[in-house]
Chains A and B, each alone.
Chain A
Amino acid sequence: MRTRTIEILVGLFVVCGLLAALALAMTVSGLSGSKQDTYKIYAHFENIGGLSDKAEVTLAGVQIGTVSSIKLDPQMLTAVVEMKIFSEVDYLSIDSSVQILTSGLLGGKYIGLSVGAEEEVLTEGGVIEDSQSALVLEELIGKFLFNKVSE
């Protein structure tokens, strides 16, 4: 009986350790992501300025999906951002616009989505036409200086 208790406790300990490993893989490092159903939409950006994989996609500040991959379009020379949107969010109109935003001064980049007015909604593989690139500080300062000089 005593040995059996010990064996059960050791088994519990090992299972706890393995569960911790699983949790570290899934929730902490987001290895295989959540099981939540998603659909993919795409957007082209002229400059993604530090946006990375797994960044949030938000609507009115609330997360509705994540960035799943970022590639370069060799023809148009723009960045193609693939976003996975939670499937319960199925009311994004086809003329929605996306914008790359920064949370806080040092915070990460995320995508802010604002819904348009069309009746038709985005579905799997939909492309958002209206996109606004990330603000790059150096470009802003450059423009500002240029205006100052031309004054």
Chain B
Amino acid sequence: MLDTLAITGRLCIEKLAGFGRATFVLLHALLVWPQPGNSIPLIVKQLYSVGVKSLLIIVVSGLFIGMVLGLQGYTILVDFASEDAVGQMVALSLVRELAPVVTALLFAGRAGSALTAEIGLMKATEQLASLEMIGVDPLRRIVAPRLWAGFISMPLLSMIFAIVGIYGGAVVSIDWLGVYSGSFWSVMQSSVDFYDDVLNGVIKSLVFGFVITWIAVYQGLESVPTSEGISQATTRTVVYSSLMVLALDFVLTALMFGNI
């Protein structure tokens, strides 16, 4: 009886301590920031591995998701003779929901797992410890550029996803299914609001990028320095960040669109 209580207590304390360490890592990496001349090249390098390398999967999946939305929307709306509204449907569902969420899930799989594995391996081969030995702060040198690259590239990727998807949907519904292009765009423009829809989508993707890179970096730093530990940490990154993205998406949607 007391043992079970003790186990529950220990688990809770461990979780809370983990959360505290994660917050400490985040604040330390972000606040002990500027190191002019040195930090920008580091961020650029990380932007390349986090952002540019994720571009292909984002563009391809955005294109196909937009095309599928166009097809599905058309087949439903044509029953009500309202196929003109397919542009509105594609644009709103992409800009508000699908672009931030799907980009975040792909980003967690493509970039988050790589971040965890990289930092985990650095820890396992004691590169982080050697950095500290020679007086370089690993949080500043290794962690901070990765965090910033994640924050910067997620909204950019999400916007690219949305625009590619919308053009994919436009190609399918206008050129293939024969929706009149004037009403496709004008119905879309009259229903999509820049501040309410586009900017809220960007805010969502910012929050998701923040959460994913934070989880990825923290799991890498906390991983058990063995090959098994790294594989578990990588799995945890993908699982935790996907769950966080979906849960946060509900919270953000309720805050943004709940009272409309």
Which residues of B sit under 8 angstroms from A23, Cβ to Cβ?
163
Among B5-13, B82-90, B237-245, the stretch that binds chain A is B82-90
Which residues of B sit under 8 angstroms from A27, Cβ to Cβ?
185, 189
**A-binding residues in B (CB < 8 A):** 41, 44-45, 47-48, 51-52, 55, 77, 80-85, 91, 95, 152-153, 155-157, 159-160, 162-164, 166, 180, 182-183, 185-194, 197-198, 202
Given contacts A13-B52, A29-B197, A30-B192, contact A107 B160 (CB under 8 A): no
Determine if A7 and B95 form an interchain contact, defined as CB atoms under 8 angstroms apart: no
Which residues of B sit under 8 angstroms from A123, Cβ to Cβ?
none
In whole angstroms, what is the CA distance A25 to B201 when docked?
12
Q: Which of A14, A17, A61, A110 has the most CB of B within 10 A?
A: A17
Which residues of B sit under 8 angstroms from A140, Cβ to Cβ?
none
Among A47-55, A73-81, A141-149, the stretch that binds chain B is A47-55
A31 at the interface (CB under 8 A from B): yes
Which residues of A sit under 8 angstroms from B84, Cβ to Cβ?
103-104, 107-108
Which residues of B sit under 8 angstroms from A106, Cβ to Cβ?
77, 80, 82, 85
Given contacts A29-B194, A30-B192, A56-B186, contact A17 B159 (CB under 8 A): yes
Determine if B192 and A29 form an interchain contact, defined as CB atoms under 8 angstroms apart: yes
14 A-B pairs (CB sep. < 8 Å) = A10-B44, A13-B47, A14-B156, A20-B164, A24-B162, A28-B91, A28-B162, A28-B188, A56-B183, A56-B186, A63-B186, A104-B77, A108-B85, A108-B187
Determine if A16 and B156 form an interchain contact, defined as CB atoms under 8 angstroms apart: yes
A117 at the interface (CB under 8 A from B): no
Q: Which of B95, B153, B190, B193 has the most CB of A within 10 A?
A: B190
Q: Look across to chain A and name the residue whose beta carbon is closest to the beta carbon of B78.
A: A104
A99 at the interface (CB under 8 A from B): no
Determine if A28 and B95 form an interchain contact, defined as CB atoms under 8 angstroms apart: yes
Which residues of B sit under 8 angstroms from A61, Cβ to Cβ?
180
Determine if A6 and B156 form an interchain contact, defined as CB atoms under 8 angstroms apart: no
Q: Look across to chain A and name the residue whose beta carbon is closest to the beta carbon of B163.
A: A20
Which residues of B sit under 8 angstroms from A53, Cβ to Cβ?
190
Determine if A16 and B82 form an interchain contact, defined as CB atoms under 8 angstroms apart: no
Which residues of B sit under 8 angstroms from A135, Cβ to Cβ?
none
In whole angstroms, what is the CA distance A106 to B153 when docked?
38
Q: Look across to chain B and name the residue whose beta carbon is closest to the beta carbon of A13.
A: B52
In whole angstroms, what is the CA distance A62 to B115 when docked?
52
Given contacts A54-B190, A66-B186, contact A104 B156 (CB under 8 A): no
Given contacts A17-B157, A17-B160, A56-B186, contact A10 B52 (CB under 8 A): yes
Interface string of A66-109 (1 = CB under 8 A from B): 10000000000000000000000000000000000001111110
Q: Look across to chain A and name the residue whose beta carbon is closest to the beta carbon of B94.
A: A28
Which residues of B sit under 8 angstroms from A110, Cβ to Cβ?
183, 186
Q: Which of B85, B91, B95, B156 has the most CB of A within 10 A?
A: B156
Determine if B47 and A10 form an interchain contact, defined as CB atoms under 8 angstroms apart: yes
Given contacts A13-B51, A104-B80, contact A6 B197 (CB under 8 A): no
A21 at the interface (CB under 8 A from B): yes
Determine if B160 and A16 form an interchain contact, defined as CB atoms under 8 angstroms apart: yes
Ranked 9 nearest A-B pairs via Cβ = A17-B156, A30-B189, A63-B182, A104-B82, A54-B190, A20-B159, A29-B194, A106-B82, A104-B81
Determine if B48 and A10 form an interchain contact, defined as CB atoms under 8 angstroms apart: yes
| Extra A-B contacts (17), CB below 8 Å, given A10-B51, A20-B160 | A10-B52, A13-B55, A16-B156, A17-B156, A24-B95, A24-B194, A25-B194, A28-B162, A28-B198, A29-B198, A30-B189, A53-B190, A56-B186, A63-B183, A105-B80, A106-B82, A107-B85
